[in-house]
Structure 1
Amino acid sequence: MKTLDVDRSDAEYRAWLKEAVRKVQADANRSADTHLLRFPLPEEWGVDLYLKDESTHPTGSLKHRLARSLFLYALCNGWIRPGCPVVEASSGSTAVSEAYFAKLIGVPFIAVMPRTTSCEKISLIEAQGGSCHLVDDTRTLYEVSARLAEESGGHYMDQFTYAERATDWRGNNNIAESIYAQLRLERHPVPTWIVATAGTGGTSATLARYVHYTQADTRICVADPENSCFFDGWVSGDPTVACERGSRIEGIGRPRMEPSFIPGAIDRMMKVPDAASIAAMRTLARVMGRKPGGSTGTGLWSAFKIISEMRAAGERGSVVTLICDPGDRYLDKYYADEWLVEQGIDIAPATAALEGFLATGEWTA
């Protein structure tokens, strides 16, 4: 009987692959965990609020974790090859982080992004040696990315499909495991709620799966901005829902239900107006002296609302949300009053509601 035998191993490629994986793992090994900050609320409220500060990663955002996982996943699957570009569809922060890892292993990187992406993010990508391909219609990001990868002989990373499967949600120092470890000595060590936002949906999937896997009594809420379909798709159970416009809150909100968004794992969703997101973002900057990005404000607004409900019900416990990225990437947008006027956004009512909540604990928004 004849044995069929095909050997496609390449010693030079295998040596390159081993070194690339080593470099990515070494980045994680020399990086400290991010801080879990406590937001100052009155002790007598009986509810504590924490913010997982993901802005302190080497590339400045929550997406550093995702990019590392995506690169390891693609490398170990044999999808990234020496000298061939990695292409990604992104609203900015994932592209910054992926450009970093592409440079680390020595491959070209192309970011396909909306033309409205902040100048600061474009500069950060280019500083890592990446190039930016800007598109006017955010709905074309996927097809343009796939086409560029095919034309260049590269790999389309496709974070929106692979985010939920590239991350080890059972543990391995993922964001969920880190949060629970850091809360261990707090007065309410098991959070009542964790509030996340969704771009790919990978973070909310990781958090929710870890909660269910560890059998923790924690519920997961996802806060969704304007011009995003996640809320409508979750409520209706329709995976085909879409919206015509792109989100003004960079990094979160999508025009379609992304494959990495896992609706069944989530307990609650909130639709947050952009004015509320920006007001909450600026409130955090004022109270804690840390300028976050707009997506942080989206999650923080929802966290405040949940805390008000817990107080009204006489419930004690802790709530966790995320500082997703730093505000210095958005000085010309969310921190610029001129931009707010151009967009027709009035944050005064939401700001007044937040000030009232922090003073009295009552929610009037």
Structure 2
Amino acid sequence: MGDRAAGGTQDRTNAACQAGRDWVHDAIAKVEADANRSADTHLLVVPLPAEWGIDLYLKDESTHPTGSLKHRLARSLFLYALCNGWIREGRPVIEASSGSTAVSEAYFARMLGLPFIAVMPASTSKEKISLIEFFGAECHLVDDPTAVVAESRRLAAESGGHFMDQFTYAERATDWRGNNNIAESIYEQMTRERHPVPCWIVVGAGTGGTSATIGRYVRYRRLQTRLCVVDPENSAFFDGWANQDPAFTTGRGSRIEGIGRPRVEPSFLPDVVDRMIQVPDAASIAAARLLAERTGHRAGGSTGTNLWGTFRIISELRAAGVHGSVVTLLCDGGERYAHTYYDDGWLSGQGIDITPYDRALRDFLATGSLP
């Protein structure tokens, strides 16, 4: 009562609060130390005929400690949540994921000694589930892919934990102006190439965080690069972008893990995207397999989606007589998909025939034209 009469102040500097602050400081130091230990990912050259005058690069995100592009996102999300006071010592962290983000977040949760629950579609590859469990996390599988967010919110409320919510916070958690984000890294690595400013950068949507970061960075640095987002079957981003409908939903899960979503996610910023290309799942898988055959780099289906869109753009540049460079992402390694995209039996069970797309890709690599 006396405190209220004096102005109603409250003091949070007691021992328990200070212990919580000390834990957060220690947690942030551990996450930042991980970033300091991790060297930047490689920018690989994909050989194309010299007479085309076009250079293709793959940013190999599979070399992160947790094996995918999502390692960057998970680090940013943890730092964002820690600095916002949302993550607390001993409280569980919950995430809705199709697998790779959950693998990376499980890694950081173990680093901080936190329980972690990954809410994922039951169709998530067995390899990803095993990786998540390797880091000591729990996998909570749901039959309906559209229910992962609602189920994550429920678990967080019941447990007193924090729902990380990558689909809302991905575009906010990353510093798009620089700070060694993926865009800054690409342009730094391109400085000594013959076409240092790419004509196009091609990425999948996923949470929307990567396209938001690159699109903002390009504008901030006043660069001429254009941004293309590729989208697989059953995903909502293409139609949502084309129809300017941020509430668009398909109500269906995607077979290309990591990028396809049944709704347009809050972190997707359509106004920084110059073009979108819708890619059949069979084309994505054919491209991923052909990459492994031609380069020895085995990648997941989302990389195949990137490549199909990239080859489409290169075909058009060739037809227009334009020389330059194009950059896309190798999102994760193919070892996570041995029982899906690289399994002929799985393809048959899904009714996927990659033969016509494989033929089209081989024709493209021979002629520079993708029909």
TM-score range, shorter chain: over 0.9
Q: Distance in 1 between matches of 2:196 and 2:173?
A: 28
**1:261-280 alignment, distance < 5 Å:** 261-280=268-287
Alignment deviations for residues 202-253 of structure 1 (CA, whole Å, 9 cap, x no partner): 0000010000000000000000000101000000001111102100001111
CA RMSD between the two structures? 0.7
Matched, 1:2 2:6: yes
For 2:74, the equivalent position in structure 1 comes to 67
1:198 to partner: Cα distance = 1.0
For 1:328, the equivalent position in structure 2 comes to 335
Matched, 1:288 2:295: yes
Q: Distance in 2 between matches of 1:270 and 1:308?
A: 14
Q: Distance in 1 between matches of 2:139 and 2:340?
A: 20
Matched, 1:201 2:228: no
Alignment equivalent of 1:85, drawn from 92, 111, 119: 92
Q: Distance in 1 between matches of 2:233 and 2:143?
A: 19
For 1:25, the equivalent position in structure 2 comes to 32
**1:16-165 alignment, distance < 5 Å:** 16-165=23-172
Q: Secondary structure at the match of 2:167?
A: helix
1:363 to partner: Cα distance = 1.6
Structure 1 window deviating more from structure 2 (217-226 vs 244-253): it is 244-253
TM-score w.r.t. length of structure 1: 0.99
1:8 to partner: Cα distance = 2.3
Q: Secondary structure at the match of 1:342?
A: helix
For 2:179, the equivalent position in structure 1 comes to 172
1:5 to partner: Cα distance = 1.5
Q: Distance in 1 between matches of 2:289 and 2:362?
A: 11
Alignment deviations for residues 20-51 of structure 1 (CA, whole Å, 9 cap, x no partner): 00000000001000000000001110000000
Alignment equivalent of 1:222, drawn from 214, 229, 244: 229
Q: Quick one: which amino acid aligns to residue 263 of structure 1?
A: P
Gaps of at least 5 residues in structure 1 are none
Q: Distance in 2 between matches of 1:137 and 1:102?
A: 26
For 1:213, the equivalent position in structure 2 comes to 220
**1:239-278 alignment, distance < 5 Å:** 239-278=246-285
Q: Secondary structure at the match of 2:158?
A: helix
Alignment deviations for residues 252-302 of structure 1 (CA, whole Å, 9 cap, x no partner): 111111000000110000000000000000011011101000000000000
Q: Quick one: which amino acid aligns to residue 357 of structure 2?
A: A
Instruction: Check whether the contact 2:315–2:370 (CA below 8 A) recurs between aligned residues.
Output: yes
Q: Distance in 1 between matches of 2:289 and 2:267?
A: 30
Question: Which stretches of structure 1, 4 residues or longer, exceed 2 Å deviation after superposition?
Answer: 1-4
Q: Quick one: which amino acid aligns to residue 243 of structure 2?
A: S
1:362 to partner: Cα distance = 1.6
Instruction: Check whether the contact 2:251–2:263 (CA below 8 A) recurs between aligned residues.
Output: no
For 2:317, the equivalent position in structure 1 comes to 310
Q: Quick one: which amino acid aligns to residue 9 of structure 2?
A: D
Matched, 1:189 2:206: no
Q: Quick one: which amino acid aligns to residue 276 of structure 1?
A: A
For 2:370, the equivalent position in structure 1 comes to 363
Q: Quick one: which amino acid aligns to residue 279 of structure 1?
A: A
1:79 to partner: Cα distance = 0.2
Q: Distance in 1 between matches of 2:271 and 2:365?
A: 33
Q: Distance in 2 between matches of 1:176 and 1:206?
A: 7
Q: Distance in 1 between matches of 2:145 and 2:168?
A: 16
Q: Distance in 1 between matches of 2:344 and 2:110?
A: 36
Gaps of at least 5 residues in structure 2 are none
Q: Distance in 2 between matches of 1:136 and 1:297?
A: 26
Q: Distance in 2 between matches of 1:199 and 1:8?
A: 39
1:2 to partner: Cα distance = 2.6
Q: Distance in 2 between matches of 1:145 and 1:79?
A: 15
Q: Distance in 2 between matches of 1:218 and 1:242?
A: 30
Over the matched positions of the two proteins, sequence identity in percent amounts to 69
